Amino acid sequence: MKHLSNKQGYEDCFERSEEGYLVATDDFMEKLQDDDFQDIIKHKFLTYLLIEDDPVENFHLGNGAEIGDLKFNLKDNRDWVMVNYVYPESPELLENNAQIYRSGKRLLASHLHNILNQSEHEMLDSRIAQPVFLPQDEPE
């Protein structure tokens, strides 16, 4: 969120709470009710996760998770966006995913690839890994 709050056009979307937290403004939360606006913000946030080094992302991906989904909490202006990290059941895949992250790439759930357009995929190709399936995990 810190990164998004510094982007041109988003300066008025965030403010400091009395406790000092960076929170979404009421106006931003109202706009977030709109599906089209959610698509724009989901796109921005996914791009942030692919480009920036986020400490929470670092923890989860470094331990073998993949970015599973992005969800909005429309009732809380402090925790308004949530990243769902998914861990594989297989220890082999868990270690494989961690190695992929250490190589500088991120694993995304397949539906998240649709958020990025073709030119962004090409530009961010070095940051996005393709999922690896062990023989017993191959999709049918």
| pTM, to two decimals | 0.78
Asked if the structure places residue 16 within a domain, the reply is yes
Asked if the structure places residue 136 within a domain, the reply is no
Q: Which domain holds residue 68?
A: 2-131
Indicate if the alpha-carbon torsion angle 2, 52, 125, 67 is positive or negative: negative
Asked if the structure places residue 40 within a domain, the reply is yes
Give residue-wise pLDDT tens across range 65-89: 999 999 999 999 888 999 999 999 9
Asked if the structure places residue 104 within a domain, the reply is yes
Q: Given its phi and psi angles, is residue 104 left (phi above 0), alpha (psi -120 to 50 degrees) or beta?
A: left
Asked if the structure places residue 45 within a domain, the reply is yes
- Kindly report the average pLDDT of the chain as a whole number: 84
Number of domains in the chain: 1
Asked if the structure places residue 139 within a domain, the reply is no
Whether 57 shows a pLDDT value over 70: the answer reads yes
Asked if the structure places residue 137 within a domain, the reply is no
Query: What is the mean pLDDT of the segment spanning 1-26?
Result: 74
What is the pLDDT at residue 11? Answer: 65
Query: What is the mean pLDDT of the segment spanning 52-60?
Result: 91
Half-sphere exposure of residue 139: CA atoms within 13 angstroms, side-chain side: 3
